Copies of this chain bind each other. A is one copy, B any other.
Amino acid sequence: METLTASKSQIKVPDKFVYYFAAGEAEGNAGMKNILGGKGANLAEMTAIGLDVPPGFTISTDICTHYSAEGNKIPDWVKPKVLEALKRVESKIGKNFGDVKNPLLVSVRSGARASMPGMMDTILNLGLNDQTVEGLAASSKNPRFAWDSYRRFIQMYSDVVMGMNSSLLEVTLEDLKAEKGVHNDTDLDTEDLKKLVKKFKSMVQQMTGHSFPADPLEQLWGAVAAVFRSWNTPRAVTYRELHSIPSEWGTAVNVQAMVFGNMGDDSATGVAFTRNPSTGEKKFYGEFLVNAQGEDVVAGIRTPQPISQLQEVMPAAYSDLERNYLKLETYFKDMQDIEFTIERGKLWMLQTRNGKRTAKAALQIACDMMDEKMISEQEAIMRIDPASLDQLLHPTLDPNSKKTLLAKGLPASPGGVCGQVVFTPEEAVEMKEKGHKVILVRVETSPEDIAGMVAAQGILTSRGGMTSHAAVVARGMGKCCVAGCAEVEVNYNTESFKAKGYVVKKGDIITLDGGTGEVYLGEVKTIEPKLDGTFTRLMAIADKMRRLKVRTNADTPKDAKTAREFGAEGIGLCRTEHMFFGEDRIDAVREMIVSDTKQEREKALAKLLPMQRDDFYQLFKIMEGFPVTIRLLDPPLHEFVPHSDSEIAELAKRIKYDENRLKHKIHSLHEFNPMLGHRGCRLAITYPEIYQMQVRAIAEAASQLVGEGMKLIPEIMIPLVATAKELEILRQQTIEVVEQVQKEKKVKFDYLVGTMIELPRAAVTAHEIAHHADFFSFGTNDLTQTTLGLSRDDASRFLGSYVTGGIFAKDPFVSIDQVGVGTLVKTGVDLGRQTKGQLKVGICGEHGGDPDSIQFFENVNLDYVSCSPYRVPIARLAAARASISRKKG
């Protein structure tokens, strides 16, 4: 493998890195996302299929890496090629960059491989200066438009490229409006804007120490550099972490001739989806603003009109748009998210990309497109992000519960949640850490709010549409969001909001219904989700396509039932210790623990036997003959005993034990590193009678069910094995007990004895261990802790800076560390099967429900994954996708 850092000498200069596009002349295409970014590739493709796209060119993603490697500098060899492409744009459009009479203006936009909405910075109207603005005024015959474009450009450029605090110019603008007694930017006239531009430029000089660049080329290089630089801003880094986008990918830069949606009332700009991104309904869906630039829609500053109204306002342009969107969807065979601008009645397509959607919409669209013969079953499966199913499995509000409606906004992202109101992302994070559920309430959100959005149960905004930042990001996260809820008057100063006469303060509880856009006062009862036909249909297809079996981790009949309903094909991990905590038995467990002799221990264990037998009987029964893997006692014994003096005193009374001796006993169980202590099979090596009782309970329960006519094959699993010898000894003891019970009960049944592979030593000696194991189950939680030397309970205080610092791409407890822990998993599988070719191998850590990890487990040939009941559908879908991806290579 290669080192992670790129240094100058290691990166090859690419042969081609500037790709021109204009009607019929695209040098790139949709397949070149890796080097052109999503936006650039699709611009090229749209051009190629004959849509009207303003001409331009894309600087490839490689240059982003070169830019970083050269210490944030555009390499000298890049510039000539850029100028060459710029020339082609000039001659295509018949305007020249920097021309004082009829100047070419360009937009400069980022475009990474994966869509990163709102994350990267964009510059519009680039090329304006005191001379060219006059040319634009003359050529457009609209001086107000020209000067408004100029002041917008200065605002954007000084913020994004020159690093100036943009609110200073914003305030100046607001001051001017206040001075003139007007409310909207559009109320300012040309003279106002000229004044503003002058003021802006002097403020830039004052605040940054540099004059605002008048040379269009200097502007261009500055903007290109800013796009590359913005790849590594903290907010971009956070987004990448959240979406597992490698930092090496880099962003491309798209330079494109400007078209203007703000040239008057015959101009407009808008965004739209070819289908409803929230429900999946097959209906054109979107929003537009007359006399505006694109940023005005996305930023949510003015509330836009629904796309259907465009038909009335500009029928010809709408008809072109309709033709285009149908063409694009047919061409890309997926729901498209498009951006357009209408300049003086002419429609220009600015962007198309596969649209983000809710899980519900994704299922609906996939099913509809299969029915429309647009996509195959396999493609349908690949269209659904398994993690997004979580949304469908989340509770919704109980329609029968009493509610106090506070307000109604846009149903931006589904789900029903309640929590305490907070007004800043920092508070959201803080409260979450203290264990509170919170709702983040904002006028509107921006990329700076992402950490708070992650921490919150749901998001409520008072401004912005269905495609506002809050809405798009929340849908991506599968998080409940009500957006554009204008009835809600937010006051950050008093930390409260008003709605329908109520005043809701910080800390008060509200409930959101992301499916309807409704906001309620107080807590509203929620109900479990029901899954509709599209879910069932796609799951059936997924099941047909996957190789990996999906089991569940379940310790209780309730969990087991839920998992069966979600399609679990057995229990991969039943943690018997969870059964030890029942009120009716914990004291017997404690008696066993504080026993001084084997006889005392056996007496206490005898009390537990019938209870454990009943536990297992029920689980076996619910699983109806599906395999059930029971892990014998794993945690250190001190986890079962009380530690405070008063609790110890009470326990001593209850179990009739000397209090001081009990204290001493309990104290002697203390461990420095319990994770690495006297636990798992080590307990059974020192106290064989514990596992013997558990095995007897399993065998007796199985005997009973066999007697009742059920067929079952219990799988008995020995945890924390480090050496073959441990398993050899404990396997032998297990077999003796089962055979004894079979003799007593006069029944025969098959059973397996296997082991967890959860220590590095077990993985590297799996060939020895396999001699004594009927199956392996990777315990990747503990394997991660030991392989990384990282305690899950203690890591929180630095894991954050590890993910932020790029040391871990993802939290290794959430998604398996493939390079480190994964290598040991692969070693364990390969060595185990070297000894026993057909060894059954599964995984039962938290990673069993994580799609990326499931792909890894598919690739290393595990037989099954096991995960929590609610993640079973996710795992089924992820397993199908993993099979498909693997076959594709």
Contact = CB atoms under 8 A, between A and B. Distances in A.
A824 B797 CA distance: 29
A313 to B, nearest CB: 54
A501 interface: no
A490 to B, nearest CB: 33
A686 B808 CA distance: 14
A83 interface: no
A808 B726 CA distance: 10
Nearest to A722: B788
Interface in A700-727: 720, 722-726
Interface string A810-824: 000000010111011
A5 interface: yes
A31 B88 CA distance: 90
Nearest to A806: B725
A794 B1 contact: no
Given A725-B807, A768-B1, A771-B3, A791 B821 contact: no
Contact of A685 (B789, B802, B824): B802
Contacts of A771: 3
A785 interface: yes
Contacts of A782: 789
A673 B768 contact: no
Interface centre among A817, A820, A823 (most CB of B within 10 A): A820
Identical subunits present: 2
Contacts of A600: none
Interface in A801-851: 801-802, 805-808, 817, 819-821, 823-824
A3 B3 CA distance: 39
Contact of A5 (B728, B790, B791, B821): B728
A677 interface: yes
Contact of A759 (B1, B720, B788): B788
A807 B723 contact: yes
A344 interface: no
Contact of A824 (B676, B724, B764, B821): B764
A675 B673 contact: yes
Contact of A672 (B1, B674, B768, B806): B674
A767 interface: yes
Interface residues of A, number: 58
Contacts of A764: 787, 820, 823-824
Contacts of A790: 676, 722
Nearest to A761: B820
B678 A789 contact: no
A696 to B, nearest CB: 22
Interface in A667-710: 671-678, 682, 685-686
A722 B789 contact: yes
A467 B676 CA distance: 45
Contacts of A4: 724-725, 728, 768
Interface string A755-794: 0001111001101100110000000001001111111011
A503 to B, nearest CB: 35
A794 B759 contact: no
A820 B808 CA distance: 26
A821 B771 CA distance: 20
A502 interface: no
Most buried by B among A682, A758, A772, A801: A682
Contacts of A802: 682, 685
A798 interface: yes
A729 interface: yes
Contacts of A686: 797-798, 801
A678 B797 CA distance: 8
Contacts of A724: 3-4
A829 to B, nearest CB: 14
B3 A672 contact: no
Contacts of A807: 685, 723, 725-726, 729
Given A728-B4, A767-B1, A788-B722, A794 B677 contact: yes
A430 to B, nearest CB: 15
A675 B672 contact: yes
A789 B3 contact: no
Contacts of A674: 672-673, 794
Contact of A789 (B786, B795, B801, B817): B786
Interface string A603-636: 0000000000000000000000000000000000
Interface in A634-673: 671-673
A676 B808 CA distance: 17
Interface in A1-16: 1, 3-5
Contacts of A729: 805, 807
A553 to B, nearest CB: 21
A673 B323 CA distance: 63
A285 B728 CA distance: 49
Q: Which of A759, A761, A772 lies at the interface centre, i.e. has the most chain B CB atoms within 10 A of its CB?
A: A761
A807 B728 CA distance: 10
Nearest to A732: B5
A725 B808 CA distance: 8
A333 to B, nearest CB: 39
A821 B722 CA distance: 11
Interface in A195-250: none
5 contacts: A673-B676, A676-B794, A723-B807, A725-B805, A764-B824
Q: 9 nearest interchain CB pairs?
A: A676-B791, A761-B820, A673-B791, A760-B760, A677-B794, A759-B789, A672-B793, A3-B771, A673-B675
Given A673-B674, A676-B789, A686-B797, 6 more contacts: A672-B793, A722-B790, A759-B788, A760-B760, A760-B820, A765-B819
